[in-house]
Chain A
Amino acid sequence: QQQVKQSPQSLIVQKGGISIINCAYENTAFDYFPWYQQFPGKGPALLIAIRPDVSEKKEGRFTISFNKSAKQFSLHIMDSQPGDSATYFCAASKSGNQGGKLIFGQGTELSVKP
């Protein structure tokens, strides 16, 4: 019940295209859903995050769509660029005094071809 399932494992997109990565969770206590971007040899860096009181959040070319009833959320990267090539992780956590440990998905390796 603590798992977050992410797909696809890898994704190849042409420059200018839309990249879509999907995640699903089971624990309805999760109330924070961030996406992290990781370049080789670097730590994960927060890209965008959403809470379940909204169904969509957009920041520049990056959009999270959130479906609470289906317990799914997805990342859309519009106008994908070669510089977006990285590994993307969805994650989930729940608020509380124990703090917000992140449960990560398996990761998606995105390659944007010029």
Chain B
Amino acid sequence: EPEVTQTPSHQVTQMGQEVILRCVPISNHLYFYWYRQILGQKVEFLVSFYNNEISEKSEIFDDQFSVERPDGSNFTLKIRSTKLEDSAMYFCASSLSPRMNTEAFFGQGTRLTVV
């Protein structure tokens, strides 16, 4: 069964450092997302990406965050200068259709710990 893969599974970084979280979405999917989940809390939308540009972003997704699809397969989330409050589980997701809601498949997540 096709799946969304994320690397690394766990990343520890010093406050102020830049981190890049990587995702390989399902190959024929067209929409890509990043969500985050602070420990014990709900899953929160960060950003959606379609046709090589951001289609929607939340208020969490400020200037410190950026996304990129550098090649035909990878989808990355960059945090330029990490803060302690960025510590969370980050999930990448992808879905097939840009217009009708279809199932969003989630990756296993990257646990980001900022120290």
Q: A44-B43, A89-B43 are in contact. Are A99 and B106 (CB under 8 A)?
A: no
Contact of A98 among B56, B95, B109 (CB under 8 A): B56
Give the complex CA separation of A38 and B31 in angstroms. Answer: 22
Give the complex CA separation of A98 and B49 in angstroms. Answer: 9
Question: Which bracket fits the contact residues of A?
Answer: 20 to 34
Main secondary structure of the interface of A (DSSP, over half): loop
- 1/0 contact trace for A75-110 toward B, CB 8 Å? 000000000000001000111111111111111000
Q: Using Cβ atoms and an 8 Å threshold, which residues of chain B touch A93?
A: 101
Give the complex CA separation of A89 and B45 in angstroms. Answer: 14
Binding site for B on A (CB under 8 A): 31-32, 34, 36, 41-46, 49, 89, 93-107
Binding site for A on B (CB under 8 A): 4, 31, 33, 35, 41-45, 48, 50, 55-56, 91, 93, 95, 98-109
Closest 3 CB pairs of A and B: A43-B106, A32-B101, A100-B101
